[in-house]
Amino acid sequence: MAAKKPAAPAAAAAAPKAPAAKAIPTVTLKQLAAGLAETHELSKRAAEAILNDLVDTVTKRLKKGDKIRLTGLGILQVRARPARMGRNPATGEAIKIKASKKVAFRPAKELKEAV
C-alpha cells in the first residue's frame, strides 16, 4: 500500500491570492452615442446613426488611401508593410511574411498632453 500524503494545513489552503490585474474599462460605440445624445439633446438612435456613419465614412476614405486628420484627436492613415522574413517561434524555422497594409494612428499633441 502506498502511504498517504498528509493533508495541507487549512491556513495554506486559504492563503491570500495575488491581486488580480486591474481591468481597463472598454467604452463602446453605443456608450459614446448615449453620451452624445444626452449632451446634444438627440435621440440615442440618431446619435448611434451618426457615429455609425462616421465609422463607415472613415473606413471608405482609408480604403481609398486618404489620410484622415481629426483635430484634437490625431491622424489615421493606411501604411504599407513590406514583405519580410520572420521566424516561427515554435520551431525556429524561417518563414516569409507577405506584404500587407495596416491602419496607423498618430495622436495629436493635445491628446498626448491630456493623457
- State whether 53 and 80 are in the same domain: no
Average pLDDT, the chain: 88
CATH number, domain at 96? 4.10.520.10
Least confident piece of the model among 12-21, 60-69, 81-90:
12-21
pTM for this entry: 0.69
- State whether 33 and 60 are in the same domain: yes
How far apart are the C-alpha atoms of 59 and 94, rounded to whole Å? 34
Statement: residue 24 has pLDDT above 60: yes
Domain of 33 in residue numbering reads as 28-66
Residue 52 resides in a domain: yes
- State whether 72 and 115 are in the same domain: yes
Q: Would you call 31 exposed, middle or buried from its count of C-beta atoms within 10 A (0-12, 13-18, 19+)?
A: exposed
Residue 39 resides in a domain: yes
| Mean pLDDT along residues 75-83 | 96
